[in-house]
């Protein structure tokens, strides 16, 4: 079976594996205070074109979301998110486990808008007795979103402006950040993101690393004692250098964006083939996740050779699936898929 069901099927980019091998028996101090972590932090600061940001390397996405959000909010505050936000759906209540309500806002395309945030804040502030309700305390968006869509610069800037108006730190979940930055429909750059967000992370797990998420804190008020929060949530890796080596490699010679671009290119090939065949989509995604709607008959044929994620049952006869590419997707596998699509 050729697996397209997710973007974490393989291990790590060969350059990372090579460097892990080369350094394996070196002795370093623990908990992210080694030279490789320092190197990674420096490279990420440089890529963000900001010397003043704090960078922390964590292991996984749920852990990162939990740590950032619980570090940011006051106890009685909640986090605004699109209803489809990963924190609202697929983290087994990890945010609530830290005592905070996830304040979900309806969204058709996985995105929040600046005006939705404004409406939510005005609604809260105009309550008679707002203290009976959870106070919105920050905004969480995913870039790209869980359904593959992206924000463009203008949209993100508006969101950032509203957030600052209401003193709501803006947190961008970048579990698939590379695939968003390389999307043909987004014009956002990493330095721009570092200007507009108060805190965000650069996903490694789905973009070239074995695991790892690099948190970038740009808002001075959120920097203090962040390492305490990492440790409290079990996210401080003893052999932190593993994270340092991976991110240092990804941020050398622009590797992170290069391998992200590959995933986008392959996804666009698949998308084009699907469209040519008249297949419709649950969501018009310009990133590495595609959500075609197949008939049962089509799906029966394709799933003999290919593994997809079942995303949503549309009706008795049709199902939307998720097809993912990644940095690791082989062109030959994409060719086989396209060929199979053409023969449907």
Give, as ranges, the residues between 31 and 70 that touch a copy of itself (CB under 8 A).
Answer: 31, 59-64, 66-67, 70
Q: φ and ψ at 52, to 5 degrees?
A: -95, 5
Distance of closest approach, residue 307 Cβ to a copy of itself, in angstroms: 8
Among 190, 166, 200, 193, smallest CA distance to 69 is for 200
Distance of closest approach, residue 49 Cβ to a copy of itself, in angstroms: 28
Among 306, 49, 8, smallest CA distance to 176 is for 8
The residue within the footprint of a copy of itself, chosen from 46, 152, 184, 231 (CB under 8 A), is 231
Angle among Cα 155, 218, 182 to the nearest 5 degrees reads 45
Distance of closest approach, residue 23 Cβ to a copy of itself, in angstroms: 7
Verify binding: residue 91, a copy of itself, rule CB under 8 A.
Answer: yes
Verify binding: residue 242, a copy of itself, rule CB under 8 A.
Answer: yes
Distance of closest approach, residue 322 Cβ to a copy of itself, in angstroms: 11
Among 122, 79, 83, 118, smallest CA distance to 101 is for 79
Which token pair is 338?
């396209």
Of 105 and 159, which has the nearer Cβ to a copy of itself?
105
The residue within the footprint of a copy of itself, chosen from 205, 246, 290, 325 (CB under 8 A), is 205
Task: Please report, for residues 125, 172, 189, 256, 285, the alpha-carbon distance to residue 151 in angstroms, rounded to integers and kept in the order given.
Answer: 27, 11, 11, 20, 11
Verify binding: residue 276, a copy of itself, rule CB under 8 A.
Answer: no
Distance of closest approach, residue 153 Cβ to a copy of itself, in angstroms: 29
| Cβ-Cβ contacts under 8 Å for 300 (sequence gap 6 or more) | none
Verify binding: residue 236, a copy of itself, rule CB under 8 A.
Answer: yes
Residue with tokens 């797990």: 205
- Please work out the total of residues on this chain that contact a copy of itself, with binding judged by CB under 8 A: 78
The residue within the footprint of a copy of itself, chosen from 140, 211, 291, 327 (CB under 8 A), is 211
- Give the C-alpha separation, 247 to 128, whole Å: 49
The residue within the footprint of a copy of itself, chosen from 76, 122, 152, 305 (CB under 8 A), is 76
- What part of residues 1-30 is at the interface with a copy of itself (CB under 8 A)? 2-3, 5-6, 8-12, 14, 17, 20-21, 23-30
Distance of closest approach, residue 264 Cβ to a copy of itself, in angstroms: 20
- What part of residues 128-167 is at the interface with a copy of itself (CB under 8 A)? 128-129, 131-135
Q: φ and ψ at 282, to 5 degrees?
A: -70, -35
Among 297, 330, 238, 333, smallest CA distance to 29 is for 238
Of 159 and 217, which has the nearer Cβ to a copy of itself?
217
| Cβ-Cβ contacts under 8 Å for 225 (sequence gap 6 or more) | none
- Give the C-alpha separation, 280 to 294, whole Å: 8
Verify binding: residue 108, a copy of itself, rule CB under 8 A.
Answer: no
Distance of closest approach, residue 116 Cβ to a copy of itself, in angstroms: 17
Of 161 and 312, which has the nearer Cβ to a copy of itself?
312
Distance of closest approach, residue 79 Cβ to a copy of itself, in angstroms: 11
Which token pair is 247?
């991110």
- Give the C-alpha separation, 107 to 215, whole Å: 26
- Give the C-alpha separation, 299 to 302, whole Å: 5
Verify binding: residue 221, a copy of itself, rule CB under 8 A.
Answer: no
């Amino acid at each position: 079976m050729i697996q397209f069901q997710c973007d974490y099927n393989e291990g790590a980019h060969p350059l990372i594996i090579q460097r892990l091998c080369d350094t394996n028996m070196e002795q370093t101090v623990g908990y992210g205070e080694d030279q490789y972590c320092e190197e990674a932090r420096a490279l990420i600061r440089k890529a963000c074109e900001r010397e003043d940001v704090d960078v922390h390397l964590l292991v996984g996405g749920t852990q990162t979301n939990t740590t950032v959000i619980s570090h940011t909010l006051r106890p009685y505050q909640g986090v605004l998110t699109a209803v489809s936000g990963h924190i609202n759906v697929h983290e087994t209540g990890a945010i609530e486990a830290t005592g905070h309500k996830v304040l979900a806002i309806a969204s058709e395309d996985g995105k929040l808008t600046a005006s939705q945030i404004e409406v939510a804040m005005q609604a809260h502030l105009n309550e008679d007795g707002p203290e009976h309700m959870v106070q919105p305390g920050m905004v969480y968006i995913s870039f790209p979103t869980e359904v593959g869509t992206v924000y463009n610069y203008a949209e993100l800037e508006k969101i950032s402006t509203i957030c600052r108006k209401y003193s709501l730190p803006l947190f961008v979940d970048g579990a698939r950040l590379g695939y968003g930055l390389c999307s043909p429909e987004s014009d956002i750059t990493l330095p721009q993101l570092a200007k507009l967000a108060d805190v965000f992370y650069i996903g490694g797990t789905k973009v070239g690393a074995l695991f790892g998420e690099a948190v970038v804190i740009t808002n001075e008020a959120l920097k203090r004692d962040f390492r305490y929060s990492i440790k409290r949530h079990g996210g401080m890796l003893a052999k932190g250098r593993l994270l340092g080596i991976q991110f240092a490699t990804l941020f050398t010679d622009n590797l992170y964006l290069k391998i992200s671009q590959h995933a986008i290119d392959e996804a666009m090939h698949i998308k084009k083939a699907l469209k040519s065949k008249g297949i419709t989509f649950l969501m018009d995604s310009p990133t590495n996740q595609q959500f075609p709607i197949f008939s049962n008959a089509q799906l029966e044929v394709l799933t003999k050779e290919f593994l997809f994620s079942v995303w949503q049952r549309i009706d008795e006869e049709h199902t939307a699936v998720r097809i993912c590419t990644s940095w690791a997707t082989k062109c030959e596998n994409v060719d086989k898929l396209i060929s199979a699509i053409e023969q449907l």
